[in-house]
Chains A and B, each alone.
Chain A
Amino acid sequence: IQLTQSPSSLAASIGDRVTITCRASQTMGSALAWFQQHPGKPPKLLIYETFTLHRGVPSRFSGGGSGTEFTLTINSLQPEDFATYYCQQFDYYPPITFGPGTRVDIK
């Protein structure tokens, strides 16, 4: 199964609402997760099972979607949210696959 993400990068301002889309090459169940990565750090889990917010993750992050299209939405973008975001699937394990990433930059 292949995962694609759009856009590959975007520029946004503090306070903006941002939506990133992850598309799967086959219909999936719910085992879709989202990670945030800052330069020089390992990825950090934000959302798992499509919708569920990982503990400690701010509520401005939300996940949605089904089938072959999934979304990560960040409401009211904060300075610490400028990072690269990856989707990842476990439904078709093995293997585990990741999307190519979406970089969120400051406008």
Chain B
Amino acid sequence: QFHLQQSGQGLVKPSQTLSLSCAISGDSVSSDSAGWNWIRQSPSRGLEWLGRAYYRSKWYVDYADSVTGRITINPDTSKNQVSLQFNSVIPEDSALYYCARDENRVIDYWGQGTLVTVSS
């Protein structure tokens, strides 16, 4: 049974680092047909793709232009999970953050979501 379980902090102070994890069950983070995405949702931005990690004989990670330089997505094969680190957060980074799997470029499963608030 495939499942994505998200964990991580819900409240972050401005300028600090947001860290989220997505534990994968029912698939391997090293699958050569899957991609592991981080997507956020807010009233102002709608659904915004942040980045994707995928393994095709080696690891690749792509990021959205809007967040390049501020985020890092790391696959962890020992824990079968993928993590997101978001540096120097600002209040506008407050959103519902999701991890999601794509299988052959079809986003078919989403985590439960983590509500992140950036506030002092």
Contact = CB atoms under 8 A, between A and B. Distances in A.
Contacts of A100: 46
Contacts of A98: 46-49
B107 interface: yes
Give the contact-size bracket for chain A.
20 to 34
Contacts of A42: 98, 100, 110-113
Given A42-B98, A94-B62, A86 B108 contact: no
B46 A96 contact: no
Contacts, number: 51
A94 B47 contact: no
Contacts of A95: 49, 62, 64-65
B64 A33 contact: no
Contacts of B112: 42
A16 B112 CA distance: 31
Nearest to A86: B47
B47 to A, nearest CB: 4
Interface in A1-55: 31, 33, 35, 42-45, 48-49, 54
B117 interface: no
A33 B107 CA distance: 8
Interface in A41-89: 42-45, 48-49, 54, 86, 88
Interface in B63-81: 63-65
B108 A45 contact: yes
A93 B37 CA distance: 12
Contacts of B47: 43, 86, 88, 98, 101
20 contacts: A33-B107, A42-B98, A42-B113, A45-B106, A45-B107, A48-B108, A49-B106, A86-B46, A88-B47, A90-B102, A90-B105, A90-B106, A93-B105, A94-B62, A94-B63, A94-B64, A98-B46, A98-B48, A98-B49, A101-B46
